Amino acid sequence: MTLDLTSSSVDLTRAICDIPSVSGEEAPLADAIEEAVSALPHLEVIRHGNTIVARTSLGRPQRVVIAGHIDTVPINANLPTRTLDIDGVPHLWGRGTVDMKAGVAVQLKLAAEITDPAIDITWMWYDNEEVAASLNGLNLLSADRPELFAADFAILGEPSNGEVEGGCNGTLRAMVRTHGVRAHSARAWVGENAIHAAAPILTRLAEYRAKEVQVEGLAYRESLSAVRIGGGVAGNVIPDLCEVEVNYRFAPSKNAADAEAHLRGVLDGFEVEITDAADGARPGLDAPIAQQFVAAVGAVPRPKYGWTDVARFSALGIPAVNYGPGDPHLAHHDEERVPLEQIDAVERGLRAWLTAR
């Protein structure tokens, strides 16, 4: 399919959403993006797997990376897209409209139209964001072509309701285990019930009061939650193992080691195995270029509670924010939909900043 970059951001959103690109199946959309941007003489285009990079090289004193992922979670009878009127507000409905093809559509339109930006721009459209970090196109590109990440600021088009969300919380997952002794359930006293032994874990988590942590003027709300529990052998057997999976979302003032120490303190006395951890990202809104961006788009910065790829830029020392159309509460939802005006508003905001002299 050929993408028409002269069409409106709304029409472009519809076009790229209607090209299915579930994680691992992004090649057709990547091909369409590469074909479209390769026709633009003011951009140098680089392809790395199914990640497309397009750069201006105008010798500007500053450079921004503007990135968006092109994959979606699996489709569930929510394509092709369609327009809905909800309480008098027109929306575009369908998989990817929120997370995050509306943001990608805005980026593609501006990449085509802004030929003389006030700062140099590196546009990045990458694959496999919704799956393992080992497959993430942004992660793989940074390992193979780190020079492409040289920048003073980064913007990720994750859905933020058209507001600026600074940085992001970190995330840590752990498996907490209790052990027992198997026995016939008719003679339960012969064994030791590992599921019963897990009750204090759930009590501590239920009684835990998450903190709100101020980081560079933004209040990041933490959470510590049981997200899965498993145990049991058969309907007549006392279980000898119970596992509680726990997810800790921690403010970007902590690193993963701090988060692990805190979790182990809360669950002291239990066997804890850390299974996954990723540092968050400080908002970086004290950087002059970030302040100029916030002023240009007329936003009041908010914290990002979920983990996003802004953390990859933060790890490289690049201040980064989330800025895109769509309600993050509707990301991955089967009723995913974005207000048309929000797509246009994000386009206006980015255009104003990128062309301001």
**Catalytic residue among 26, 34, 71, 130, which?**
71
- How far, in Å, CA of 207 to CA of 270, rounded? 17
- How far, in Å, CA of 73 to CA of 30, rounded? 16
- How far, in Å, CA of 22 to CA of 19, rounded? 10
Q: Cis omega (within 30 of 0) on the bond before 328?
A: no
Close Cβ partners of 27 (under 8 Å, ≥ 6 residues apart): 50
Asked if residue 281 lies in contact with residue 310, where contact means CB atoms within 8 angstroms, the answer is yes
Asked if residue 63 lies in contact with residue 152, where contact means CB atoms within 8 angstroms, the answer is yes
- How far, in Å, CA of 79 to CA of 162, rounded? 24
Partner residues linked to 93 by β-bridges: 82, 337
Least Cα distance to 347 among 109, 116, 180, 183 occurs for 109
- How far, in Å, CA of 127 to CA of 12, rounded? 18
**Catalytic residue among 26, 99, 120, 129, which?**
129
- The per-residue b/e assignment along 55-71, b for 16 or more CB within 10 angstroms, e otherwise, is bbeeeeeebbbbbbbbb
- Give the DSSP per-residue string, 299-340: ---EE--S--THHHHHHTT--EEEE-SS-GGGTT-TT-EEEH
Residue 129 among the catalytic residues:
yes
CA distances from 327 to 97, 181, 332, 333 (A): 10, 48, 11, 11
Tokens of 201: 């874990």
Residue 271 among the catalytic residues:
no
- Residue 302: exposed, middle, or buried by beta-carbon count in 10 A (0-12, 13-18, 19+)? middle
Close Cβ partners of 257 (under 8 Å, ≥ 6 residues apart): none
What residues are labeled active site?
71, 129
